[in-house]
Amino acid sequence: MVLCCQYNCISLGLTVAAIAAILSQRELLASCLFTLALSHKQMSVYYAPAFFSHLLGKCLRRKNPIHGVAKLGLTVLGTFTVVWWPYLHSTDALLGVLSRLAPFERGIYEDYVANFWCTSSVIIKWKRLFSVHSLKFISLTATVLTCLPSMVQQVMAPSSRGFLYGLLNSSFAFYLFSFQVHEKSILLPLLPASLLALEERRPFKWLMFYGLFSMFPLLCRDKLVLPYFALHALFMLLYHAPCGHGGRPRNARPNNTKFDYFDSFKTFMNGFIYLSSFILHIVYLTMHPPEKFPYLFEAIIMLICFYQFALFAFYTNVKQWSLLEHSTTEEEKKLI
């Protein structure tokens, strides 16, 4: 909906094609497709650490890693050269295009996006305390450090499942900590999350709900309230269509007292947060905030969603590293 109006669906489609090529063991094709995605829309850089670390990890496990890295590098450089050829004749033309890719003059955040910088600005006034140059360095450092665990895991033990988790963790790192993030950028983590939906049913439902909720104020301003609720309803119908309970049978829970207490507490907390979110929908649509705090409702939505996104990112990073324990010799042979 929001993506299509700015042709973001093209870069996302190319990214999905690149992911499919990776899963089909066609690394050169994947490199070409992802380079096209990156050239079409700079937001594809959210996935770059995952592609880089996965392909590097696979090359390092081959008999001739330098040859593999060289082939991938030449493919990327060749694709970039073809795409950027019209601008390579002039330094001014090239710099003019590059300057538009990174609008640093807008500041580290806009509106009320549910990432770290905007959420923490309630307490720390980043724009007042630091210059744009300093904030660029701080956000870059935070983004790289957040991506690093996921990248290290894929360099150490590249796998198809690990790659999908890496895409999710990498895109979340950029969403939470990079410079100048838009509300709709949450759709970037939702792409790899959708590819993991069958494996992570409940977390995916959780992320989808709060991903949409984080964009609610933006969609209200764009007069897209009806499509917003229609999309929510459609997702819930599809999610519960197979057999209810997110595709899980009722007897899937082990008979354990400690687990029951923990599960009950978790269910209570999730229910409380869901109820709060539902009430916020009604309040946002029917009430006006205090004149002293005109963006109070947006701030509350932002705080709730950031808390959920941070928990989800922590969970998926832990889940990716847990794949090391389940790696087998057979999987390693497939990478050679």
SS3 for 109? strand
Ordered DSSP codes for 234-277: HHHHHHTTTTSGGG--GGGS---HHHHHHHHHHHHHHHHHHHHH
Percent of the chain with pLDDT over 90: 39
**Is 155 a member of any domain?**
yes
- For the cut 50, the answer to whether the pLDDT of residue 103 exceeds it is yes
**Is 88 a member of any domain?**
yes
* CA 72 – CA 60 distance, rounded (Å): 13
The pLDDT value recorded for residue 107 is 74
* CA 233 – CA 164 distance, rounded (Å): 27
CB-based contacts of 39, cutoff 8 Å, min separation 6: 79, 80, 83, 84
Alpha helix stretches (DSSP H) within the chain: 8-23, 27-40, 48-60, 65-84, 91-101, 116-120, 126-129, 132-156, 160-177, 187-195, 201-214, 216-221, 225-239, 257-286, 296-322, 329-334
Long-range contacts of 266-274 (CB under 8 A, 24+ apart): 270/206, 273/304, 273/308, 274/209
- For the cut 70, the answer to whether the pLDDT of residue 80 exceeds it is yes
What would the mean pLDDT of 64-86 be, rounded to a whole number?
91
**Is 253 a member of any domain?**
no
Model confidence band, residue 8 (pLDDT cutoffs 50, 70, 90)? confident
SS3 for 213? helix
**Is 21 a member of any domain?**
yes
State how many domains the chain has.
1
- Give per-residue pLDDT as tens, 207-257: 998 999 999 988 888 888 899 999 888 888 888 776 545 545 444 455 555
Higher pLDDT, 270 or 161: 161
**Structural domain range at position 204:** 4-248+259-334
- Give per-residue pLDDT as tens, 134-176: 988 999 999 999 999 999 999 999 999 999 999 999 999 999 9
The pLDDT value recorded for residue 108 is 81
CA atoms within 13 A on the CB side of 208: 23
Q: What is the CA radius of gyration of the chain?
A: 21
* CA 239 – CA 274 distance, rounded (Å): 17
**Is 199 a member of any domain?**
yes
From the CB of residue 320, how many other CB atoms can be counted at a distance below 10 Å?
Answer: 22
- For the cut 80, the answer to whether the pLDDT of residue 263 exceeds it is no
The pLDDT value recorded for residue 251 is 46
**Is 195 a member of any domain?**
yes
**Is 78 a member of any domain?**
yes
Percent of the chain with pLDDT over 70: 85
- For the cut 80, the answer to whether the pLDDT of residue 100 exceeds it is no
The pLDDT value recorded for residue 242 is 67
CB-based contacts of 106, cutoff 8 Å, min separation 6: 180
| pTM for this predicted structure | 0.84
The pLDDT value recorded for residue 200 is 84
- Give per-residue pLDDT as tens, 177-187: 998 888 888 98
Per the prediction, the chain carries an average pLDDT of: 84
Longest dimension (CA), the chain: 70
- Give per-residue pLDDT as tens, 272-328: 777 888 888 888 888 888 888 888 888 888 998 999 999 999 999 999 999 887 664
**Is 324 a member of any domain?**
yes
